[in-house]
Amino acid sequence: MDLSSFSTATISVAVTITGLVVVFLALIGLWAIVALFGMFFSQKKPKAPQAPKQEAPKPAASQPAPSIKPAMQVEDGIGDEVIAVISAAIAAMSGGAPVAIRSVRRAREARPVWAQAGLMQNTQPF
């Protein structure tokens, strides 16, 4: 395109506006198309039917009698084997001291150790 007949100010404004409009147009267009595709293709896993929550009685904090063993409150989806492993790990770390596991639930805020290791590796250069 011959721009020699235009002033610097005109060229500045015209190229900037054209450039930004086209860049936004292209990427907004892609956003719309990708979002549409996402609606069609996203693998939305059907939600598992909610199992009735275990109505375990909550042990009172002040209950002194250890003979009445309160039921352990376990979150759905955690198998007996996992409970056993967790209990064994706690027992091993506590050095034989008597402990009572009151509830087992997933720590949602925590990131899997391997994912954390991967992220650490990725961000290590700084």
Partner 1 sequence: MLEIFTQAIVTLVEKSGFVTIFQDPRQLVMILVSFVLMYLAIGRGFEPLLLLPIAFGMFLTNIPNANLYHSAIFINETAHIDWEMLANTGGLLDYLYLGVKLGIYPPLIFLGVGCMTDFGPLIANPKSFLMGAAAQLGIFLAFIGALILGFTPSEAGSIGIIGGADGPTAIFTTTQLAPHLLGSIAIAAYSYMALVPIIQPPIMKLLTTKKARAVRMEQLRPVSQTEKIVFPIMVTLVVSFLVPDTTPLIGMLMLGNLFKESGVTERLCKTAQNELMNIVTIFLGVTVGATANGANFLTPATIKIVIMGLCAFAFGTAGGVLLGDLMYVVSGGKINPLIGSAGVSAVPMAARVSQKVGQKENPTNFLLMHAMGPNVAGVIGSAVAAGVLLSILPHA
Interaction site with partner 1 (CB under 8 A): 1-3, 8, 11-12, 15-16, 18-20, 22-31, 33-35, 37-38, 41-43, 109, 111, 119, 122-123, 125-126
Q: Output the smallest distance, CB 118 to partner 1, in A.
A: 9
Judged by beta carbon, residue 34 or residue 84, the one nearer partner 1 is 34
Q: Output the smallest distance, CB 110 to partner 1, in A.
A: 8
Judged by beta carbon, residue 18 or residue 94, the one nearer partner 1 is 18
Judged by beta carbon, residue 16 or residue 94, the one nearer partner 1 is 16
Question: Quick one: tokens of 81?
Answer: 């084997």
Scanning the structure block, which residue is given the tokens 């009572």?
Answer: 100
Length of the chain: 126
Residue closest to 106 by CA, chosen among 62, 61, 66, 76: 76
Q: Output the smallest distance, CB 27 to partner 1, in A.
A: 4
Judged by beta carbon, residue 31 or residue 76, the one nearer partner 1 is 31
Residue closest to 62 by CA, chosen among 54, 53, 74, 70: 70
Report H helices in 1-126: 8-41, 80-94, 113-123
Residue closest to 70 by CA, chosen among 46, 92, 103, 94: 103
Q: Output the smallest distance, CB 10 to partner 1, in A.
A: 10
